[in-house]
Structure 1
Amino acid sequence: MDRLLRLGGGMTGLNQGAPPSDAPVVDTAEQ
């Protein structure tokens, strides 16, 4: 699970325009 959260956060940071489905996932990972 940690790996998935890290990958999602890194990909979203590079794209800086992830869809609404990824947005909440990134917020949860940061918290």
Structure 2
Amino acid sequence: MSQDPQLVALLRKAGAQGDVFQLIAAAWLKQ
């Protein structure tokens, strides 16, 4: 799956709020 700029920015924002969101996003991107 390609990472578009808006998605990356959203993931970074979520990661700043909590590692749980970052982990979920990372797992989702690996699919």
TM range (shorter): 0.3 to 0.5
Which entry has the higher C-alpha Rg, 1 or 2? 2
TM-score (norm 1): 0.47
TM-score (norm 2): 0.47
